[in-house]
Structures are given as structure tokens and as C-alpha cells.
Amino acid sequence: MTTDTTHPRGTLPPGQRRIDYFPRFGRRLDQPPPTVSEHPTVVFGGVLPAPIEVSLDELVGADRRELDADFHCVAGWSATGLHWEGVAFADVYQRYVAPAVAPGTTVTHVLVRGLDDEHFVAELEDLLAGNVLLADRLGGRPLDGDHGAPLRLVNPEQYGYANIKHVCRIDMLAGAPPAGSPPLIDRMLQSHPRARVWEEERHGTLPGWLIRPVYRVIKAFMLAGAARRGTS
């Protein structure tokens, strides 16, 4: 089954501009992609009575899905027409998590973490939508290090920063995490808790359109850096 959330040219979410390639992007571009073990696993934890560790082979072995989707980075670029393969987050949730949640516990949020420690807390509801994948293939090939090997979250409805790469751990939360006191740069570029692209939820407190120019500068700077490093 293929779900299609690509949009004809000209109908990108507000404030986005199309680019004709898919760069390696993110906050750790100065570092190489993390090393992946020979037998990767994903651990489901948080409020579960005990953590559950599942091998990647098992996790992606059944109920495979395909998804054609555009990818929208909060910095303002969109890569269009990407073809992903993997498993639906909702199916994984039903298979491993739902049966393990203790009676009386309600999971409201999900913390998805990558091998590089980058993470995002999503509302459970946003991840249970049918077009949210845990993807292990892109463009007919296994995911490479640039784009999130061995497994990444793909949610076309949310900005790139919610699409965690190199997924190794998924923690269930019974409430929104407490707001910390992040470093200044993180406060300036504060993520939005829902990060929905069509609502332009670019920023935690400022309207999306207002923060666009800031991100435009960051985009130019980072894409130039990525080109210099020779990633594509």
C-alpha cells in the first residue's frame, strides 16, 4: 500500500521553497553520521512496566508500507517526491506498546531518540496518523547514514526536526515533558511542540511567518556548508 502526501509544485506549505535535492541536514552536520551496530535494535521504554527491546529485522519485517511524501525543513527548504518504505508507527504501537501499557496509564506523548542523541517529543496522536512511518528505505535503497540509517521517523505533516533519524529508542510519556531551561540558541530557535507544517508551527512562541527570515539565513549558511562537505 502506498500513501501519497506529495503535492504538485506550487502547493508547498506556507513559507517553504522547493529544492531539487535532499541534503543531509540537522544540528550535528559537523559530525559524521553515527555508527550503526551490525544488529540494531529499538528500545521501547518510558512509562512501560519494563523496557522492550526489538530487533530492527523483526520490527520492519511485517506489515510493510510505502509512502510518497515531501519533506519540509523548518529552515524553509522542501525536498519533494521522496519515496519511503518501512512500517507504520501506528502498527508498531499497536503491536508492541499498546499491549504493554499498564491499566490506568495513558500515554500522551512519545519521545523519539536517535543514536546521535537528537530527540523530539511528539504528541502520540500526531504519530498515530496513517502516514507516519518508521522507515528503513528511501528511494528504493536501504537508508544511508546521511538520511538516518538504520531507521528514521517520517511524518510529512511535521517539520524535519520532528523526523528523527537513526532511531534507537522510543519512550512513552504520560504527560508533556516539563519545560527545561535550554541554552540561548535553543530558545531563539525554539521548536514547536506540534511542529505541523501546514499550520506553519515553526516556532514555540513566535508566529511562523515572523521567524522565516531568521531561518532563511540559517538555511543558506547550512546548505553552503553541506555542499562544501560534499554531501548531497
Ligand X SMILES: Nc1nc2c(c(=O)[nH]1)N[C@H]1C(S)=C(S)[C@@H](COP(=O)(O)O)O[C@H]1N2
Shortest Å distance, C-beta 138 to ligand X: 8
Applying CB under 6 A, among 12, 15, 16, 25 the residue interacting with ligand X is: 25
Q: Which is nearer to ligand X, 91 or 118 (CB)?
A: 118
Applying CB under 6 A, among 16, 80, 158, 163 the residue interacting with ligand X is: 163
Out of Mo ion, ligand X, none, what residue 91 binds, judged by CB under 5 to 8 A for its kind, is none
Residue position matching grid coordinates 539565513: 217
Shortest Å distance, C-beta 178 to Mo ion: 24
- Alpha-carbon distance of 166 to 181, in angstroms, equals 26
CB of 127 closer than 8 Å to CB of 173: no
Applying CB under 5 A, among 160, 191, 211, 212 the residue interacting with Mo ion is: 160
* String of DSSP letters for 16-71: -EEESS----SS-TTSPPPP--SS-EEEEEESSSS-EEEEHHHHTTSSEEEEEEEE
Cell of 185: 540558541
Shortest Å distance, C-beta 27 to Mo ion: 8
* String of DSSP letters for 131-146: T-EEEEEETTEE--GG
DSSP annotation of 5 reads E
Cell of 36: 550503526
Subset of residues 170 to 229 that bind ligand X, contact rule: CB under 6 A: none
Applying CB under 5 A, among 60, 73, 88, 153 the residue interacting with Mo ion is: 73
Shortest Å distance, C-beta 94 to ligand X: 24
Kindly state whether residue 165 participates in binding ligand X, applying the rule CB under 6 A: yes
Q: Which is nearer to ligand X, 7 or 28 (CB)?
A: 28
Q: Torsion angle of alpha carbons 97, 100, 105, 107, nearest 10°?
A: -10
How far apart are the two ends of the chain, measured CA to CA in Å?
29
> Contact letters (x/-) for ligand X, 49-78, by CB under 6 A?
------------------------x-----
Kindly state whether residue 40 participates in binding ligand X, applying the rule CB under 6 A: no
Can you give the binding site for ligand X, defined by CB under 6 A?
Answer: 22-28, 73, 114, 116, 118, 146-148, 160-161, 163-166
